[in-house]
């Protein structure tokens, strides 16, 4: 267990996730004027905790093993894939979810209008798809910078 706690790259990555998730709450409050504590455990938003974690990991590995190490190469490629996914595929999936939610809402209005012509049956409740899945490029960039700063602060 003591070896695990001495693994600075792992600690840097975990701190990156926690710090990014925690600061999402006041950042969101600054724009919405509402406290949204569920952001602590949600995906998406500013900053990207995925980006903070993988950039902290890659930075810590670079410090410990050097820029020419295989470990740094692996962690950097991993970081690039994660950040690309966060800003690309997952963001588009969130946009698709928003569109599907709107289509379902419109369909429910049409169905309820048709049902009003007859006896109104019990309405079904449908859970909305999660729309905040990915990140804007700025959220990924800020998360990445946050991770680098966290890793550098651990080693200084």
pLDDT in tens, 39-87: 888 877 889 999 999 999 999 999 999 999 999 999 999 999 999 888 7
Give residue 74's pLDDT. Answer: 97
In sign, the C-alpha dihedral spanning 151, 4, 62, 70 is negative
Report the predicted TM-score, pTM, of the whole model to 2 decimal places. Answer: 0.71
Instruction: Kindly tell me the burial class for residue 42, based on how many C-beta atoms sit within 10 Å of its own C-beta (0-12, 13-18, 19 or more).
Output: middle
Give residue 45's pLDDT. Answer: 80
Residues 156, 140: Cα–Cα separation, whole Å: 25
Give residue 33's pLDDT. Answer: 94
Give residue 22's pLDDT. Answer: 95
Residues 134, 94: Cα–Cα separation, whole Å: 6
Residues 110, 103: Cα–Cα separation, whole Å: 11
Using N-to-C axis directions, what is the helix angle for 70-87 and 89-115, rounded to 10°?
A: 20
Give the Cβ contact number of residue 132 at 10 Å: 15
pLDDT mean over 10-14: 97
pLDDT in tens, 107-153: 877 777 777 776 555 566 667 655 555 677 888 889 999 999 999 99
Give residue limits of the domains in the chain.
1-87+137-156, 89-133
Give the Cβ contact number of residue 113 at 10 Å: 9
């Amino acid at each position: 267990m003591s070896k695990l706690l001495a693994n600075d790259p792992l600690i840097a990555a975990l701190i990156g996730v926690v710090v990014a998730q925690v600061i999402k709450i006041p950042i969101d409050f600054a724009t919405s004027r509402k406290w949204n504590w569920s952001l602590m455990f949600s995906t998406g938003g500013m900053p990207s905790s995925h980006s903070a974690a993988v950039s902290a990991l890659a930075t810590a590995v670079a410090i410990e093993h050097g820029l020419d190490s295989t470990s740094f190469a692996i962690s950097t490629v991993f970081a690039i894939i994660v950040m690309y996914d966060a800003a690309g595929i997952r963001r588009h999936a969130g946009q698709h979810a928003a569109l599907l939610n709107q289509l379902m809402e419109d369909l429910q209005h049409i169905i309820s209008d048709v049902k009003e012509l007859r006896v109104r049956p019990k309405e079904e409740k449908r859970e909305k798809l999660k729309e905040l899945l990915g990140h804007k490029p700025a959220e990924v960039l800020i998360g990445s910078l946050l991770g680098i700063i966290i890793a550098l602060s651990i080693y200084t």
